[in-house]
Amino acid sequence: MKALTRLIKIFILPALILFLHIILGKLFNAYTLFPWIDIPMHFFGGITIGISYPLLLNYFTEKKYLEVRNQLMLFILIISLVALTIVIWEFLEFSSDYLFRTIMQPGLQDTIADLFLGLTGGIVGYLISEFIQ
């Protein structure tokens, strides 16, 4: 139970951003009324993910599941996990558009911008996590 509580704490920030995304999109139709709101949502989502993965890797290190001693390799691993998460999110947006006829990805430019903002946010989140530790 202690481990589950810790994992929930690790991923609470990304979960809150996801919850905010759902509230803004579904309840307030904010993405239609204010299309620019997509920009900070992807950036802050990346930040929260970039903060959460170092915490997760610290947990894995404490449990002796994984140990990364080289800081450069740690950075590469975390940014790779952030990028994977962002790509999966974009796949979900595409799937929603394809299956449910939503317009979460109005075009290639939007998708590439979302990927860039999420990855940039992830790097910022990683730097924040390094500064905090």
pLDDT at 58 over 90: yes
pLDDT at 131: 93
CA-CA distances (angstroms) from residue 37 to 24, 74, 133? 9, 31, 31
pTM confidence score:
0.93
In this prediction, residue 102 has a pLDDT band, given cuts at 50, 70 and 90, of confident
CA-CA distances (angstroms) from residue 57 to 11, 26, 75, 121, 122? 12, 33, 11, 18, 15
The DSSP symbol for 27 reads I
In this prediction, residue 1 has a pLDDT band, given cuts at 50, 70 and 90, of confident
Using the CB atoms, write b or e for 87-120: b if 16+ within 10 Å: eebbeebeeeeeeeeeebbeeeebeeebbebbbb
In this prediction, residue 103 has a pLDDT band, given cuts at 50, 70 and 90, of confident
Note the pLDDT tens digit of each residue in 3-26. Answer: 899 999 999 999 999 999 989 988
CA distance 65 to 30: 42
Residue tagged 């989502």 (tokens) = 45
pLDDT at 133: 76
pLDDT at 125 over 90: yes
Note the pLDDT tens digit of each residue in 23-54. Answer: 998 888 898 899 899 999 999 999 999 999 99
Q: Which residues 6+ apart lie within 8 Å of 87 measured at CB?
A: 115
